[in-house]
Amino acid sequence: MAHKRTPGEGSIIRRKDGRWQASLQLDGVRKTVYGKTRSEVVQKLEELRRQAVAGGALPNPGRRTLNDLLDVYLATKQADLKRSTAEHYELLVNTYIRPALGNVLLAKLTPHRIQVLLGKLRDRPRVAQLVYHILKQACDLAVRWHWLAENPCKPVVRPQYRPKRKTVWTPDELQTFLKGARGHWLFPLWYFLLASGCRLGEALALTWQDVNLEQGTVQINRTVQRLKGQTITDEPKTKSAVRTVSLPQDVVQALRQQLSCQVLSGAVCKLVFPSPSGEYLHRSVVAHALRRECERLGLPPMTPHGLRHLHASLLLEAGLPVPQVAQRLGHATPQVTMSVYAHALNRSDREAAEVLQRAMGAHPIPFIRRERP
């Protein structure tokens, strides 16, 4: 039914399904918006007018589909994203978004459609979170280009994802690994990952020019990635990932032995941790061998990235300041470190409480119940 309008607010009606509908026409283009309340559609019309004043026309998706938007979105993101991230985004788009919503006209891309898609991915929360992120960014682009009046992702309930708690060995389990795996040909690499906190790709990209055995440091400035069946080197994950990492003396000695073994075998190459053929090691080889070694030693399964996680946990539990640990790991901010390694920080906080208890326990304070005045 129709509703009395205030001057200049546009055509507003209440639909039979209870929702409100409002329309505005400019230069022959009519745009319709919907909402649960009258005030909501009035606000949406005001936003349309602001966009029309700024851009000279109402947003007009025409006959464009979500596929059209995704094409230009992926093309524009190529320059901003690392190659591995761009390839991952494209895989997510082609696997999950295009089959479900690709042929939907932008004019009919509603929050409900997006919410239904995310609901189908509830068993894969990390995928759902990334799909939402891609759709939101793509629709933000459509709003800036006046293809859409507003981002349909805004009312959508954002998927939540919490990484699973990674395996952290006990001190005894760590000693079992260090003693039992010492004879494995990949032990120098595993030992380095544990003691440096480097990402596996960063370690595989290391050359002897990056290592200063006298000062006991390594310079991290590259990473190895596998893209479309090819091994490539690229810049590290973030600017903060370019860093110099100091190593314990035992690890420096292990690197000296690694170099000596290469010299004695006549297989010296520029890489610190090469494959038997002198090429870059494949991540899968390193991960599979580590899993098999854990099984042999009767230890909980561990991944190469888990060794980095263990490195950070040990430092934080020992009381090393979070900013220092973040710098060593190459995290963009200390907040990233705090969010990923909250369990280690909680343990440190419990230890702080125990220190306070010991201090206050030396001078117990009697509590005397007093009557109300």
What is the band of 9 on the pLDDT scale with cuts at 50, 70, 90?
A: very low
Q: What is the pLDDT of residues 303-335, one digit of tens each?
A: 999 999 888 888 888 778 888 888 888 887 877
Residue 5 confidence (pLDDT): 45
Q: What is the pLDDT of residues 108-127, one digit of tens each?
A: 999 999 999 999 999 999 99
| CB 169, CB 181: distance < 8 Å | no
Tokens of 273: 């941790």
Residue 7 confidence (pLDDT): 39
Average pLDDT, the chain: 83
pTM score, two decimals?
0.66
Distance CA 11, CA 23 (A): 5
Rg of the chain in Å (alpha carbons): 29
Which CATH architecture fits 171-353?
A: Orthogonal Bundle (1.10)
Q: What is the pLDDT of residues 67-79, one digit of tens each?
A: 999 999 998 887 7
CATH superfamily for domain 66-144: Tyrosine recombinase, N-terminal domain (1.10.150.130)
What is the band of 263 on the pLDDT scale with cuts at 50, 70, 90?
A: confident
Does 357 have pLDDT greater than 70?
Answer: no
Residue 118 confidence (pLDDT): 95
Give whole-number Cα distances, 264 to 116, 258, 269, 273, 277, in Å.
62, 10, 12, 16, 16
